[in-house]
Amino acid sequence: QQQVKQSPQSLIVQKGGISIINCAYENTAFDYFPWYQQFPGKGPALLIAIRPDVSEKKEGRFTISFNKSAKQFSLHIMDSQPGDSATYFCAAIETGTASKLTFGTGTRLQVTL
Amino acid sequence: NAGVMQNPRHLVRRRGQEARLRCSPMKGHSHVYWYRQLPEEGLKFMVYLQKENIIDESGMPKERFSAEFPKEGPSILRIQQVVRGDSAAYFCASSPRGKSSYNEQFFGPGTRLTVL
């Protein structure tokens, strides 16, 4: 059972463009939603995270938008750069009762010159 | 200030052999998580451990897989009688605390297991 659905599977964006990755979840007990960035051969690294009582969070060029009623959240990368080329995973966790992260299937982003 | 360390980074085993994957958490972290990443897929939770205790093993296959986090030394994920389907990247993560509040899980570089 896929509890966190992520799309698209892959994304090609020109340098300077906006990259948008979408996720949807089913479990309403999830209360923390991190995004991870993974480069080839490396482990995932936390990029940015949001709680459902906030509709948007921005850190530099990275913004999370959160729609609690639709159970959807998305990552926007503004002014995308070739160095942003990586695989991005959304995730969700129930902080009160469990500590395991439930990951989406990942989006492979390629930023072209 | 070393991060999460995993070894070996690459492991090749023949079908039927045993695989032992090691994880040393970040200094000061007493909670360890193991995740498995199949090719072209996201990470799937396997097991959550504290020192000398398995807290949640709901993601572990019922047979051939076991994990431990002894009082001294690294956490070990053990796979007995490996099969080709076990070929994957295995990631360990650590955090300073588990439940009650979210603490970031810091991931290691992973062990890539190939079963011939």
| Minimal CA separation from B67 to chain A, in Å | 16
Residue B42 or A33, more confident: A33
| Phi–psi pair at A82, nearest 5 degrees | -55, -30
Nearest CA in chain A to B50: A99
As beta bridge partners, residue B107 has: B93
Smallest CA-to-CA distance from A6 within A27, A24, A32, A33 is with A24
Q: What is the pLDDT of residue B98?
A: 55
DSSP state of A79: S
Chain B environment of A97 (Cβ under 8 Å): 99
Give yes or no for residue B46 having a pLDDT over 90.
yes
Q: What is the pLDDT of residue B2?
A: 74
Establish if B69 touches chain A: CB-CB under 8 angstroms: no
